Amino acid sequence: MENLLFARTLMGISLGFHIVYVAFGIGFPLLLLVSELLALKTGNEQYHRLARSWTRPMTMLFAIGAVSGTILSFELGLLWPRFMGFSGQMIGLPFWLEGFAFFTEAIFIGLYIYGGNRLSRRALLLCTVPITIASAASAIFVISANGWMNSPGGFTPAGLGAADVRPWRALANKAWAHEAIHGALATYVAASFAIAGVYALRLLRKGRGGMSPDRPGPTNFNLSRPGLSLSLAVGGLLVPLMLVTGDYSATWVARQQPAKLAAMEIVPRTTRGAPMVIGGWLDETTGQIRYGLQVPKLLSLLAFHDPDARVLGLDAFPPALRPDANKVHPLFDLMVFSFFVMLAPSVWFWIARWRKKDVFASRPLLASIVIASPFGLVAQEAGWMVTEFGRQPWIAYQVMNVSNGVTPRSVEWVLVLFVLVYAALTAGLLKLLLAPEAKAGAPDEEEKY
């Protein structure tokens, strides 16, 4: 049991760091594409300058994401050899396709960065298209593997192994569609709001007489206004879609993983017309919900589109097969709360722009954007933990328990070593991102903006 705890802790820490790196590795290319497209269409040089200013952080985050992804691939074999021995034939295909997408992205990132003064603007725009597609494809293929863990398919059970393996059917598992759509949109939202927060903070500091507006490169305040507008346009457009895709995902969970839904929404007993619980804590001794706000029949309506629908509670499952509602539900609430935290300043910003107000001088508005900026990443982390904790005790739903997939060897020293590696990677990344461009050796120093 102790070994299982160490293995799960190490995998959780590794994925927690990797999710942050990858969010920017996927989000930056979309912003790059939109910015270069606007530059070509409008002739506004600021959009091209803005896109080129993102090359340095994008490449650093891409490189760190590649390193952390490589570490994860080793961890899968090191920590979960029994699981990989069983599932490798099914989830190997999406990982192979993800590698192909990764190398495609790397090639065109190199062309875009080092072709800045050598390629035409149209050619630079065309380079951003495969970067954007390949980065999204990488996420979608990896999500397929997680979808398979939630909805195993594409094989016939044969004792402790699998027979009649159909890799393409395993890739296109039942959970893939909703996880891929919701996960990809969440990544774009997380990156867009985090980047918007950086520009909002620069504008706030400028108002206090902070950084010099003449400083070259990405910190130039001439780029803060279009940078804030563009990132909030992408993030603000996609945030409402998160509600739609989130509802799609929750509806699927209600039908395919009812134990997870019961934990997400704290449903201790099978109920018709189940209420939606906001906040709250499950008293496992009495089965009562403490401190929560209950909205009558709302869960049945949202999950099954019928206010009187029957929702299975935790009591419908053996105790050993019940997810821990006191872990899953607070994380689910945090994910939903993060959505509204991001939605509010986005709506405020664009209504103010529509009314032709000077949004870039409004300190309360800029401060609200800064406050909301990390919540996309918070929502991603919380959503991932809901998916994983809610599937417990299964590593492959109703096929293999987590305890049956873990390595029998001791891994505590590996945990310590990898935590130190991730801490060093993050510290080095932050130092490079915060360093002045003149000292960092950015590829675009030759371009005088």
Write down the pTM of the prediction: 0.86
Longest CA pairwise span in the chain (Å): 71
Per-residue pLDDT tens for 433-449?
776 543 433 444 334 33
Separation of alpha carbons 296 and 267, rounded Å: 13
24: CB partners within 8 A, 6+ apart: 57, 58, 61, 65, 191, 194
Query: What's residue 449's pLDDT?
Result: 36
Query: What's residue 130's pLDDT?
Result: 93
Query: What's residue 337's pLDDT?
Result: 92
Rounded mean pLDDT for each run of 10 residues along the chain, 449 residues in total: 78 85 89 91 87 86 82 82 86 88 90 85 90 91 90 80 83 89 91 92 70 42 84 90 87 91 90 88 84 88 88 89 90 92 91 86 90 92 91 89 82 78 79 58 40
Per-residue pLDDT tens for 371-415?
999 999 999 999 999 999 999 899 988 888 888 888 877 777 777
What does each C-alpha distance from 20 to 53, 98, 120, 130, 345 come to in angstroms?
A: 20, 18, 33, 22, 22
At 281, give phi and psi (nearest 5°): -145, 135
Query: What's residue 371's pLDDT?
Result: 93
Nearest CA among 39, 20, 29 for reference residue 59: 29
Structural tokens at position 346: 């986005």
Structural tokens at position 196: 């918007």
Separation of alpha carbons 61 and 132, rounded Å: 15
Residues in the chain: 449
Sign of the CA dihedral with 308 first, then 309, 314, and 316 last: positive
Query: What's residue 212's pLDDT?
Result: 40
Structural tokens at position 391: 């599937």
How many C-beta neighbours within 10 Å does residue 421 have?
A: 15
Nearest CA among 331, 349, 389, 125 for reference residue 239: 349
H or E segment at 393?
none
Structural tokens at position 39: 């530059």
Separation of alpha carbons 213 and 224, rounded Å: 10
CA–centroid distance for 280 within its chain: 26
DSSP string, 321-362: G---HHHHHHHHHHHHHHHHHHHHHHHHHHHHHHTT--GGG-
How many C-beta neighbours within 10 Å does residue 335 have?
A: 23
Query: What's residue 217's pLDDT?
Result: 41
What does each C-alpha distance from 203 to 32, 45, 225 come to in angstroms?
A: 21, 20, 8
Structural tokens at position 387: 């998916």
At 156, give phi and psi (nearest 5°): -115, 125
DSSP string, 158-185: ETTEEES--HHHHHT-TTHHHHHHHHHH
CA–centroid distance for 164 within its chain: 33
